[in-house]
Amino acid sequence: MNPAMNIAPSPQSPHASAGGPAAADAWREVFESASGYAEYLAKHATADQRARWDASHARIRLTEEQRAVLGSFVRRMPVLVLSGTWCGDCVNQCPIFDHFSSASKVIDVRFLDRDARPDIAAHLKVCGGQRVPVAMFLSEDWHPVVFYGDRTLAAYRAAAAAESGQACASGVAGPAADLLANVIADWLREFERVQLILRLSGRLRQLHGD
Protein backbone atom coordinates (compact mmCIF):
# COMPACT_ATOMS: atom_id res chain seq x y z
CA MET A 1 0.00 0.00 0.00
CA ASN A 2 1.40 3.41 -0.92
CA PRO A 3 1.68 5.39 2.37
CA ALA A 4 1.65 8.76 0.59
CA MET A 5 -2.01 9.71 0.82
CA ASN A 6 -1.72 13.37 1.76
CA ILE A 7 -4.48 14.98 -0.27
CA ALA A 8 -6.85 17.77 0.59
CA PRO A 9 -10.29 16.72 1.85
CA SER A 10 -12.88 16.58 -0.93
CA PRO A 11 -16.60 17.32 -0.59
CA GLN A 12 -17.18 14.13 -2.62
CA SER A 13 -15.22 12.01 -0.15
CA PRO A 14 -17.29 9.65 1.98
CA HIS A 15 -14.75 9.73 4.78
CA ALA A 16 -13.23 12.39 7.01
CA SER A 17 -9.74 10.95 6.66
CA ALA A 18 -9.36 11.81 2.97
CA GLY A 19 -6.46 14.12 3.80
CA GLY A 20 -4.34 11.27 5.18
CA PRO A 21 -4.09 7.49 5.29
CA ALA A 22 -7.64 6.22 5.00
CA ALA A 23 -9.00 4.11 7.84
CA ALA A 24 -10.52 0.66 7.37
CA ASP A 25 -14.06 1.99 7.79
CA ALA A 26 -13.40 4.54 5.06
CA TRP A 27 -12.36 1.84 2.60
CA ARG A 28 -15.44 -0.17 3.51
CA GLU A 29 -17.65 2.81 2.69
CA VAL A 30 -15.86 3.37 -0.61
CA PHE A 31 -16.14 -0.29 -1.56
CA GLU A 32 -19.84 -0.43 -0.74
CA SER A 33 -20.42 2.64 -2.92
CA ALA A 34 -18.73 0.98 -5.91
CA SER A 35 -20.47 -1.05 -8.63
CA GLY A 36 -20.35 -4.63 -9.80
CA TYR A 37 -19.07 -5.33 -13.30
CA ALA A 38 -22.40 -5.20 -15.18
CA GLU A 39 -23.68 -2.22 -13.21
CA TYR A 40 -20.44 -0.32 -13.80
CA LEU A 41 -20.67 -0.76 -17.57
CA ALA A 42 -24.38 0.11 -17.61
CA LYS A 43 -23.66 3.29 -15.69
CA HIS A 44 -20.55 4.54 -17.47
CA ALA A 45 -20.02 2.89 -20.89
CA THR A 46 -21.28 4.18 -24.22
CA ALA A 47 -22.66 1.64 -26.70
CA ASP A 48 -19.35 1.53 -28.58
CA GLN A 49 -17.37 1.15 -25.37
CA ARG A 50 -19.67 -1.62 -24.16
CA ALA A 51 -19.16 -3.49 -27.44
CA ARG A 52 -15.38 -3.39 -26.94
CA TRP A 53 -15.69 -4.57 -23.32
CA ASP A 54 -18.02 -7.41 -24.35
CA ALA A 55 -15.63 -8.50 -27.11
CA SER A 56 -12.72 -8.49 -24.67
CA HIS A 57 -14.72 -10.46 -22.11
CA ALA A 58 -15.53 -13.09 -24.73
CA ARG A 59 -11.84 -13.56 -25.65
CA ILE A 60 -10.83 -14.53 -22.12
CA ARG A 61 -10.48 -18.21 -21.33
CA LEU A 62 -9.29 -19.52 -17.98
CA THR A 63 -7.56 -22.88 -17.90
CA GLU A 64 -8.80 -25.64 -15.62
CA GLU A 65 -5.69 -25.18 -13.52
CA GLN A 66 -6.41 -21.46 -13.13
CA ARG A 67 -10.01 -22.20 -12.16
CA ALA A 68 -8.75 -24.68 -9.59
CA VAL A 69 -6.43 -22.08 -8.06
CA LEU A 70 -9.22 -19.53 -7.84
CA GLY A 71 -11.62 -22.11 -6.47
CA SER A 72 -9.17 -22.97 -3.68
CA PHE A 73 -9.26 -19.47 -2.17
CA VAL A 74 -10.76 -19.37 1.33
CA ARG A 75 -10.33 -15.83 2.61
CA ARG A 76 -12.81 -13.19 1.46
CA MET A 77 -11.09 -10.79 -0.97
CA PRO A 78 -12.75 -7.44 -1.64
CA VAL A 79 -11.06 -5.89 -4.68
CA LEU A 80 -11.75 -2.27 -5.57
CA VAL A 81 -10.85 -1.47 -9.19
CA LEU A 82 -10.34 2.11 -10.33
CA SER A 83 -11.09 2.17 -14.04
CA GLY A 84 -12.38 4.05 -17.06
CA THR A 85 -14.65 2.61 -19.73
CA TRP A 86 -12.77 4.71 -22.32
CA CYS A 87 -9.38 3.18 -21.46
CA GLY A 88 -7.94 0.46 -23.66
CA ASP A 89 -5.85 -0.99 -20.84
CA CYS A 90 -9.07 -1.32 -18.82
CA VAL A 91 -10.91 -2.87 -21.78
CA ASN A 92 -8.22 -5.53 -22.05
CA GLN A 93 -7.77 -6.24 -18.32
CA CYS A 94 -10.89 -5.52 -16.26
CA PRO A 95 -12.95 -8.33 -17.86
CA ILE A 96 -10.29 -10.70 -16.49
CA PHE A 97 -11.36 -9.72 -12.97
CA ASP A 98 -14.97 -10.60 -13.74
CA HIS A 99 -13.86 -14.07 -14.86
CA PHE A 100 -11.81 -14.45 -11.66
CA SER A 101 -14.79 -13.44 -9.55
CA SER A 102 -17.01 -15.96 -11.33
CA ALA A 103 -14.50 -18.74 -10.60
CA SER A 104 -14.24 -18.01 -6.86
CA LYS A 105 -16.74 -17.83 -4.02
CA VAL A 106 -14.66 -15.34 -2.05
CA ILE A 107 -13.48 -12.75 -4.61
CA ASP A 108 -15.73 -9.69 -4.63
CA VAL A 109 -14.74 -7.17 -7.32
CA ARG A 110 -16.25 -3.69 -7.46
CA PHE A 111 -15.51 -0.87 -9.90
CA LEU A 112 -15.19 2.89 -9.56
CA ASP A 113 -14.91 5.34 -12.43
CA ARG A 114 -11.69 7.31 -12.01
CA ASP A 115 -13.06 10.61 -13.28
CA ALA A 116 -16.25 10.32 -11.23
CA ARG A 117 -14.28 9.81 -8.00
CA PRO A 118 -11.19 12.03 -8.05
CA ASP A 119 -11.06 11.88 -4.23
CA ILE A 120 -10.44 8.14 -4.37
CA ALA A 121 -8.22 8.33 -7.46
CA ALA A 122 -5.91 10.63 -5.49
CA HIS A 123 -5.19 7.75 -3.10
CA LEU A 124 -4.28 5.31 -5.89
CA LYS A 125 -1.66 7.05 -8.02
CA VAL A 126 0.98 5.01 -9.82
CA CYS A 127 4.36 6.74 -10.18
CA GLY A 128 2.67 10.02 -9.28
CA GLY A 129 0.02 9.70 -12.01
CA GLN A 130 -3.62 8.67 -12.02
CA ARG A 131 -3.34 5.60 -14.23
CA VAL A 132 -5.95 2.92 -14.74
CA PRO A 133 -6.77 0.20 -14.10
CA VAL A 134 -5.59 0.01 -10.51
CA ALA A 135 -6.80 -2.78 -8.23
CA MET A 136 -6.90 -2.13 -4.49
CA PHE A 137 -6.92 -5.40 -2.55
CA LEU A 138 -8.57 -5.29 0.87
CA SER A 139 -8.90 -7.71 3.75
CA GLU A 140 -12.31 -8.89 4.84
CA ASP A 141 -12.24 -6.30 7.63
CA TRP A 142 -11.28 -3.55 5.16
CA HIS A 143 -7.59 -3.07 5.79
CA PRO A 144 -5.62 -2.29 2.61
CA VAL A 145 -3.32 -5.13 1.59
CA VAL A 146 -1.75 -3.77 -1.62
CA PHE A 147 -2.69 -2.00 -4.81
CA TYR A 148 -1.50 -3.06 -8.23
CA GLY A 149 -1.68 -1.47 -11.68
CA ASP A 150 -1.73 -0.22 -14.38
CA ARG A 151 -0.28 -2.88 -16.69
CA THR A 152 1.21 -6.22 -15.78
CA LEU A 153 4.82 -7.22 -16.42
CA ALA A 154 3.91 -9.09 -19.61
CA ALA A 155 2.10 -6.06 -21.00
CA TYR A 156 4.97 -3.72 -20.15
CA ARG A 157 7.49 -6.09 -21.72
CA ALA A 158 5.41 -6.13 -24.91
CA ALA A 159 5.11 -2.34 -24.88
CA ALA A 160 8.84 -1.92 -24.31
CA ALA A 161 9.64 -4.36 -27.11
CA ALA A 162 7.45 -2.40 -29.48
CA GLU A 163 8.94 0.88 -28.22
CA SER A 164 5.41 2.15 -27.70
CA GLY A 165 5.04 5.42 -25.83
CA GLN A 166 1.26 5.22 -25.84
CA ALA A 167 0.04 4.96 -22.25
CA CYS A 168 -3.48 3.85 -22.98
CA ALA A 169 -4.47 2.51 -26.38
CA SER A 170 -7.97 2.66 -27.81
CA GLY A 171 -8.80 -0.96 -27.08
CA VAL A 172 -10.36 -1.41 -30.53
CA ALA A 173 -8.00 -4.29 -31.33
CA GLY A 174 -7.45 -6.75 -28.51
CA PRO A 175 -4.06 -8.10 -27.44
CA ALA A 176 -2.55 -11.10 -29.19
CA ALA A 177 -3.65 -14.43 -27.74
CA ASP A 178 -0.27 -15.21 -26.19
CA LEU A 179 -0.02 -11.77 -24.62
CA LEU A 180 -3.55 -12.04 -23.24
CA ALA A 181 -2.72 -15.43 -21.72
CA ASN A 182 0.38 -13.95 -20.10
CA VAL A 183 -1.55 -10.96 -18.73
CA ILE A 184 -4.18 -13.31 -17.26
CA ALA A 185 -1.37 -15.32 -15.64
CA ASP A 186 0.23 -12.15 -14.25
CA TRP A 187 -3.02 -11.01 -12.67
CA LEU A 188 -3.73 -14.47 -11.27
CA ARG A 189 -0.33 -14.51 -9.61
CA GLU A 190 -1.15 -11.21 -7.91
CA PHE A 191 -4.60 -12.41 -6.80
CA GLU A 192 -3.04 -15.62 -5.46
CA ARG A 193 -0.27 -13.71 -3.69
CA VAL A 194 -2.84 -11.52 -1.93
CA GLN A 195 -4.92 -14.57 -1.03
CA LEU A 196 -1.85 -16.14 0.58
CA ILE A 197 -1.11 -12.93 2.48
CA LEU A 198 -4.66 -13.09 3.83
CA ARG A 199 -4.57 -16.82 4.45
CA LEU A 200 -1.31 -16.71 6.39
CA SER A 201 -2.00 -13.47 8.27
CA GLY A 202 -1.58 -14.13 11.98
CA ARG A 203 -4.29 -11.60 12.75
CA LEU A 204 -6.82 -13.23 10.42
CA ARG A 205 -5.85 -16.75 11.51
CA GLN A 206 -6.59 -15.76 15.09
CA LEU A 207 -9.91 -14.26 13.96
CA HIS A 208 -10.91 -17.47 12.17
CA GLY A 209 -9.29 -19.91 14.56
CA ASP A 210 -7.37 -21.64 11.79
The DSSP code for 5 is -
**Burial (Cβ within 10 Å: 0-12, 13-18, ≥19) of residue 159:** middle
Angle ∠(126,131,135) on CA atoms, nearest 5: 75
Overall pTM > 0.75 = yes
Full set of structural domains in the chain with CATH: 22-208 (3.40.30.10)
Q: Give the per-residue pLDDT at 21.
A: 58
79 close to 108: Cβ distance less than 8 angstroms: yes
Q: At what angle do helices 47-59 and 88-102 cross, to 10 degrees?
A: 50
User: Rounded to an integer, what distance in angstroms lies between the CA atom of residue 199 and that of residue 210?
Assistant: 9
Q: Give the CA dihedral 87, 93, 94, 99, nearest 10 degrees.
A: 160
DSSP state of 140: T
Question: Residue 55 and residue 137: Cα distance in Å, rounded?
Answer: 26
pLDDT tens for the chain, residues 1 to 210: 333 333 334 444 444 444 555 789 999 999 999 999 999 999 999 999 999 999 999 999 999 999 999 999 999 999 999 999 999 999 999 999 999 999 999 999 999 999 999 999 999 999 999 999 999 999 999 999 999 999 999 999 999 988 655 544 444 444 577 999 999 999 999 999 999 999 999 999 999 999
